[in-house]
A and B are shown apart, each in its own frame.
Chain A
Amino acid sequence: MKARWLDILFLGALLFVLVLLPLLVNNYWLRIATGALMWAGLACSWNMLGGYAGYINFGHSAFFGLGAYVTALMMVDPLGLPFAATIPAGIAVTAACAVIIGAPTLRLRGAYFAIATWAFAEVLIQFATVMEFTGGIGGLSLPPFLNERFFYFAMLMAAALTYLVTWALFEHSRFGLKVKALRDHEPAAEAMGINTSLVKLQTFVLSAVTASVFGAIFAYWVTFINPKSVFGGDITDQMVVMVLLGGLGTLWGPAIGGVALFVVNRLIWMYWGDTAFYIAILGAAIVLVVLFLPNGIAGLFAKRGRGSVSVLGKAVEKLVGAGEGDRK
């Protein structure tokens, strides 16, 4: 029980620092902190389905982008609606899209779902590029609102809410048990009375909707969006790396991976600018984590039931050793 109190103490301190941060740093660092919060939240939203349910979504940027575009389209002329009004609309659109994609494909093996989500994101890029009402390749400009503190607190709230929901729903409820059960063994989960198709769809919708909220805040924050900047595959790549690096299916893994990778991203950007080399780094990171750190950074600290071989040692053994044959 001592650990529980330490957790609460640590969390309280973290929240305290985060709330006071705008008083401590200048706008430049506040922007970086805002970005870090957004990525930590986005990584967590990807992890809901990818980590807890074991279904990999290669088009998560679609939902981020949908949130951004719905907000942008509603705030520019002729509608000119206030920002707050656009978020529910973004949520509704995203949820509908997630149901349309998820309902048929989540019943099949993961490969079909991966293709469907990837294709959906690419359709949206192409669509937003060729259509006129989305501003085509030039994108859309939103009415500027230059208040860094507002966006910092908006992202902080969204991220805190995302982690709170994940903690409550996936770590401390029956729903979380169902999700993890179907990840580990779908037929067995069905035999326990779990409607796996429904649970997967619910998880997918929640994950998509969360990303759309971040997209909406992002669009208002940067005041200018185009198809590449909100639908781009790099956004999904980055989320995948963050979650894999931090630890798939853990609560704090995506936060650790998200903040760590975002800092690396900013450093690279500071020294080399907008470089294609970063894409190569993302790719290499995915490959290396899959091969050598399949449980992520969080996995390094997790208690192991038995076996003294380190995670790294096991991975090397697995790579060079003869195939163990089919799984079980």
Chain B
Amino acid sequence: MDLFLQTLLNGLLIGGVIATFTIAFQLTFGVLHVIDFAVGGWVVLGGYLGYYIVAGLGLDGFVAIPVAFVLFGAIGYLIGPILYNVRNSRTARPELMALALTFGLFTLLRGGMLTAWGFNTRTVATALSGESLMVGPVTVPLIRVAAALFAVMIAGGLFVFLYRTRYGLAIRATAENRHNAALMGVNIRRLSANVYGLYAGITAMAGVLMGAIYSVNPESGLRYTLFAFFVAVLAGLGSVGGAVVAALLLGVVEAYVATYVGSSYSLLAIFATLFLVLLISPRGILRRGL
């Protein structure tokens, strides 16, 4: 019973971290109408940034979080307009070309990281590494609690931004109907730059947290791209509300499969579930509006 509760809590905490970047992923789809295969690449790069800040500069892993946001926010800000131009170009199939572009980016990041860093696995060391927290009979690593708290802060900030500011309104309006948003004077091209920057920044921050909780290696990008797709398909592409529920669900399912079946089966279980959902209810079973 203790193990059961402990797994549940662990799963929810991880689910919180997954929620941060999957919300941003959904938002990006809403505005740019492209699913970003590179999402896992940004996560892993965030993790490596954390590792090098610890190993190279001797600082605490938590320092890497704001650095990751600024650095990858800037990179994303530069990539966003390119993606927008491809998606809205007049080639035979702009949707296909944009998909190919993010797929190529993902492959490029993976190959680049493999070339630079090999298959070595890296962990981000923080002040909380190795500490754990006792909640009644349940033991939880402190880093997971901190990461989840951080995730709640990021997600909360994002929701306040989306629902309480004018710019957030513009983003939501664009995600709902690009055409009308353009008519209302929203500059979608510039918005794309900002949204992709925001998304890349948040995703890299989540990567630092993932690097601290687990570890990262160049091949683990696949896992996080899968997470984002899983959440997107369960929630319905572009749905932000459903993304939180789906992310928590994903965290819990993964934790239970890893604990009770074996961690080598967890990816298979997630892929299989994703696949079944696509076959049975392809538009998402948690479909909710923005």
Instruction: Mark out the residues of chain B between 236 and 281 whose CB falls within 8 Å of any chain A CB in the assembled complex.
Output: 237, 264-265, 267-268, 271-272, 274-275, 278-280
B66 / chain A contacts, CB cutoff of 8 Å:
none
Q: Chain B: which residue is nearest A249 at the CB level? A: B92
A residues apposed to B, CB below 8 Å: 50, 54-56, 58, 100-101, 104-105, 107-112, 114-116, 118-120, 122-123, 126-127, 129-130, 183-184, 233, 237, 240, 244, 248-249, 275-287, 290-291, 294-295, 318-319, 322-327
Given that A112-B237, A319-B85, A326-B188 are contacting pairs, would A283 and B278 also be in contact in the complex, using a CB cutoff of 8 Å?
A: no
Instruction: Mark out the residues of chain B between 54 and 113 whose CB falls within 8 Å of any chain A CB in the assembled complex.
Output: 81-82, 84-86, 88-97, 99-101, 103-112
In the complex, whether B35 has a CB less than 8 A from a CB of chain A is yes
9 closest residue pairs by CB, A with B: A286-B104, A283-B108, A280-B111, A279-B111, A283-B107, A276-B114, A323-B189, A126-B268, A287-B104
In the complex, A184 Cα to B283 Cα: how many Å?
23
Q: Chain A: which residue is nearest B106 at the CB level? A: A283
Q: Is the CB of A325 within 8 A of B182?
A: yes
Determine which of A56, A122, A129, A248 lies in contact with B226 in the assembled complex, contact meaning CB atoms within 8 Å: A122
Instruction: Mark out the residues of chain B between 87 and 146 whose CB falls within 8 Å of any chain A CB in the assembled complex.
Output: 88-97, 99-101, 103-112, 114-115, 118
B37 / chain A contacts, CB cutoff of 8 Å:
58, 118
In the complex, A221 Cα to B44 Cα: how many Å?
37
Q: Is the CB of B95 within 8 A of A110?
A: yes
Determine which of B97, B105, B111, B275 lies in contact with A278 in the assembled complex, contact meaning CB atoms within 8 Å: B111
Interface of A is mostly: helix
Given contacts A56-B96, A110-B99, A123-B268, could you give 20 more A-B pairs where the C-beta distance is less than 8 Å? A56-B99, A58-B99, A112-B282, A115-B274, A115-B278, A118-B229, A119-B274, A123-B275, A184-B92, A237-B103, A240-B100, A240-B103, A275-B115, A276-B114, A282-B108, A283-B104, A284-B108, A286-B104, A323-B85, A326-B179
B residues apposed to A, CB below 8 Å: 29, 34-35, 37, 81-82, 84-86, 88-97, 99-101, 103-112, 114-115, 118, 178-179, 182, 188-189, 218, 222, 226, 229, 232-233, 237, 264-265, 267-268, 271-272, 274-275, 278-280, 282-283
A282 / chain B contacts, CB cutoff of 8 Å:
104, 107-108, 111
Question: With contacts defined as CB atoms under 8 Å apart, how many contacts are there between chain A and chain B in the complex?
Answer: 175
Q: Is the CB of A327 within 8 A of B88?
A: yes
Q: Is the CB of A280 within 8 A of B115?
A: yes
B268 / chain A contacts, CB cutoff of 8 Å:
123, 126-127, 130
